[in-house]
Amino acid sequence: MELVDYSFDAGVALIRLNRPPVNALNAALISDLAEAFDAAADPSVRAVVLTGSPHFAAGADITGFQASFDAGDDDRQASGLTEAIVAFESLEKPTIAAITGFALGGGLELSMGADFRYLGEGAKVGQPEILLGIIPGAGGTQRLARIVGAQRCKEMCMTGRQVGAEEALAIGLADKVAPDEGVLALATADAASFANGPTKAYAAVKTAIRIGYDLPLAGGIGIEAEQFATTFRTQDARIGVAAFIAKERPEFTGE
């Protein structure tokens, strides 16, 4: 992975985009991200932090668009990123995007594959594709609408404006805001806490919400029941119940 730095420590994988100066998303970077997400699927990884500095990712590498125009290739630009984001979103463990600088266009779409987004105070996020005469192509209209609501998503996508950290927090697009120099440390600390938690239960929460969200209530409750039964059979469930009865802190194993 030439354009992504991958490290692992104490159950936490840190994935850092490394394509200066702004981590513009081209095919090579997206390929490296897909490889990193595949590595993070290993069961020894119990939480993931995704970041980039000084900018998380300022969007797609626009210089590649002209070649696509000339070739009549209208889907290649987004398809690889879409697949990488789905792989990130599907990881069966907690994931955090630690964002400083810009997370625009494909950068915001990438961050929305994470369970949580932590923004530095100076961060700016948005879907500015409309300013190029196009729309988001890697899930932006869909994930953003599910996070902030359809009307707010429509406004952001149709104006292309950049949203600051405090507004992002107010509309639910950010989960935490910290000083720019502290956002990665905060994300890493929270990931370490997740890495000591009941990993299979976290995965069950993600599965129940992801599958059940678009179902009628009865169907969603059925999915939840299935996931509850799955977690009830885990070793961590036994550990958690025994610790509760003994009034002790549980020491989960992730099994």
Taking the domains of the chain in order of start, what are their residue ranges? 4-195, 199-245
Tens-place pLDDT, residues 85-97:
999 999 999 999 9
- Would the pLDDT of 72 be above 80? no
In this predicted structure, the answer to whether residue 77 has a pLDDT above a threshold of 70 is: no
Report residue 214 as tokens: 């678009």
Query: Is CATH 3.90.226.10 the classification given to domain 4-195?
Result: yes
Indicate whether 75 pLDDT > 70. Answer: no
| 120, 165 Cβ separation under 8 angstroms | yes
pTM over 0.85: yes
Residues 6 or more apart whose CB falls under 8 angstroms from that of 82 comprise: 137, 138, 139
Number of CB atoms found within 10 A of residue 148's CB: 18
What confidence tier does 60 reach under pLDDT thresholds 50, 70, 90?
Answer: confident
pLDDT bucket at 61, cuts 50 / 70 / 90? confident
What are the DSSP calls for 81-123, one per residue? Answer: HHHHHHHHHT-SS-EEEEE-SEEETHHHHHHTTSSEEEEETT-
d(CA 237, CA 252): 9
Confidence band, pLDDT 50/70/90 cuts, at residue 62: confident
At residue 41 the predicted structure's pLDDT band, cuts being 50, 70 and 90, is very high
CB within 8 Å of 233: residues ≥ 6 apart: none
Compute φ and ψ for 87, nearest 5 degrees: -65, -40
Q: What is the average pLDDT score of the chain?
A: 94
Cβ neighbours of 77 (radius 10 Å): 22
Q: What is the pLDDT of residue 67?
A: 63
How many residues comprise the chain? 255
- Return the closest-CA partner of residue 112 out of 134, 132, 141: 141
- Could you tell me what percent of the chain has a pLDDT over 70? 94
Say whether pLDDT at 46 is over 70.
yes
In single-letter form, the type of residue at position 2 comes to E
Under a CB-based contact definition with an 8 Å cutoff, are residues 237 and 200 in contact? no
Residue 119 near residue 56 (C-beta atoms within 8 A): no
| Residues annotated as catalytic (active site), given as ranges | 60, 106, 109, 129
> Which residues 6+ apart lie within 8 Å of 52 measured at CB?
16, 17, 18, 23, 101
Mean pLDDT on 136-163? 97
